[in-house]
């Protein structure tokens, strides 16, 4: 392929529907989905993608049942710690973006440990969005700019982006959403301004490497004009 996206944003959607179709508890769908995310990150790295930002838990997901929220928090914690050797082997640097102060203490500690352990890896930059929302990210950036007392005339795109949770990363090239839904669902709203969008009807746990190849072929055929 002539063009490989350098920054993919992923909506791993459809875990609960997948579990329901299989006659499984919905929580099993989340577990399968996270394991598929680890495989997806390896596929991306092998194809030349440098940055992957994946939606793990949104600000709206706090409204789900206490059982599901508790399970997801523990699942994320365990997956971070249990896959440290995998991240090291594959050269993956992990960072978590979102409202860390809302997360359980044990998950916060797992995040700190994982980020520290993988900080020198450079083959793939994996961003996990946990308790993240695009509106929250924008409002949080505004609040921090106000706190710093920056003059309004000095605020431009570059300065504003330096206050977003994705500061320092390239803008997303390609957004892939599995699960059949066709919306951004309050994710990377500012960052996605010129990203190419791709929607797959496949539920996330069934999304495989061949599906990624199909998506990348579609990206390769698109002509990006950036409003010009």
98 token code pair? 């979102």
Distance (Å, whole) CA 173 – CA 224: 10
The closest of 95, 108, 78 to 41, measured between CA atoms, is 95
Neighbour tally for 189: CB within 10 Å = 15
Contact at 8 Å (CB) between 203 and 14?
yes
Name residues whose C-beta falls within 8 Å of residue 140's C-beta, 6 or more positions apart in sequence. Answer: 163, 165
133 token code pair? 């929302």
Active site residues: 13
**Ramachandran bin of 186, using left for φ above 0, alpha for ψ from -120 to 50, beta for the remaining angles:** left
Distance (Å, whole) CA 87 – CA 75: 17
The closest of 135, 166, 162 to 148, measured between CA atoms, is 162
């Amino acid at each position: 392929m002539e063009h490989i996206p350098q920054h993919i944003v992923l909506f791993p959607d459809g875990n609960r529907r997948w579990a329901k179709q299989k006659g499984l508890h919905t929580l099993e769908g989340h577990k399968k989905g996270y394991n598929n995310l680890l495989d997806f990150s390896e596929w991306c790295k092998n194809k030349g993608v440098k940055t992957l930002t994946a939606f793990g838990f949104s600000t709206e997901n706090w409204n789900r049942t206490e059982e599901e929220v508790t399970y997801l928090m523990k699942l994320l914690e365990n997956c971070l710690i249990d896959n440290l050797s995998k991240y090291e082997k594959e050269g993956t640097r992990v960072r978590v973006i979102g409202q860390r102060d809302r997360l359980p203490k044990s998950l916060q500690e797992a995040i700190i440990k994982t980020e520290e352990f993988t900080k020198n890896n450079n083959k793939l930059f994996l961003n996990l969005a946990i308790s993240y929302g695009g509106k929250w990210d924008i409002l949080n950036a505004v609040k921090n700019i106000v706190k710093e007392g920056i003059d309004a005339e000095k605020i431009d795109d570059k300065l504003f982006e330096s206050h977003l949770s994705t500061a320092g990363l390239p803008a997303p090239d390609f957004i892939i959403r599995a699960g059949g839904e066709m919306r951004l669902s309050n994710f990377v709203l500012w960052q996605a301004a010129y990203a190419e969008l791709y929607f797959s009807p496949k539920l996330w746990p069934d999304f495989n490497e061949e599906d990624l190849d199909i998506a990348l072929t579609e990206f390769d055929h698109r002509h990006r004009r950036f409003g010009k």
